[in-house]
Amino acid sequence: MLKIACPGCGVRNYTEFRYAGDANKVRPAHQVRDLGEWYDYVFLFDNPKGPHREYWQHVLGCRQWLVVERDTATNTVQGTRFARDGGGE
């Protein structure tokens, strides 16, 4: 089973977390009116087969948002940290 080491709670089964998508995406500034930028942000994905930086929320634990580096071809997790410490976007 995929395990994620929450920096707050320790190693837990992935079922305690909620997957929340690509953490490399940069949200356009709130006042951006170019719909193309929003389209990119909402709809387009690199979706790589290999290393991927992604958000997970520890919904059944400390409820913190995490940035997890995982290889999508093997499910090997390379690193986990709190999203609030940066490393997302």
Partner 1 sequence: MRFLGTRYSAAALVRHALSGAAWPPAWRSPQPKSSYDVIIIGGGGHGLATAYYLAANHGVTNVAVIERAYIGSGNVGRNTTLVRSNYLLAGNTQFFEYSLKLWEGLSQELNYNVMLSQRGQVVLAHDPLQLDGLARKGNIMRLNGIDAELLDRGEVMRMLPYLDYSPRARFPILGGMLQRRAGTVRHDAVAWGYARAASGFGVDILENCEVTGFERNGSRVTGVKTSKGSIAAGRTAICVAGHSSVLAAMAGLRLPIESHLLQAFVTEPIKPFVDHVISFGAELFYISQSDKGGLVFGGHIDGFNSYTQRGQFPRVQTVAECAVALMPSISRLRLLRHWGGIQDMTPDGSPFICRTPLEGLYFNGGWCYQGFKATPAVGACFAHTIAHEEEHPLVRHLSLERFRQANGHDEYGLGNWTYKQ
Please say which residue, 7 or 48, places its beta carbon nearer to Zn ion.
7
Binding residues for partner 1, rule CB under 8 A, total: 27
Out of partner 1, Zn ion, none, which partner does residue 53 contact, by CB within 5 to 8 A per kind?
none
53 contacts partner 1 (rule: CB under 8 A): no
Out of Zn ion, partner 1, none, which partner does residue 29 contact, by CB within 5 to 8 A per kind?
none
Q: How far is CA 63 from CA 4, 22, 44, in A?
A: 14, 18, 27
| 69 membership: H or E segment, kind and range | strand 65-71
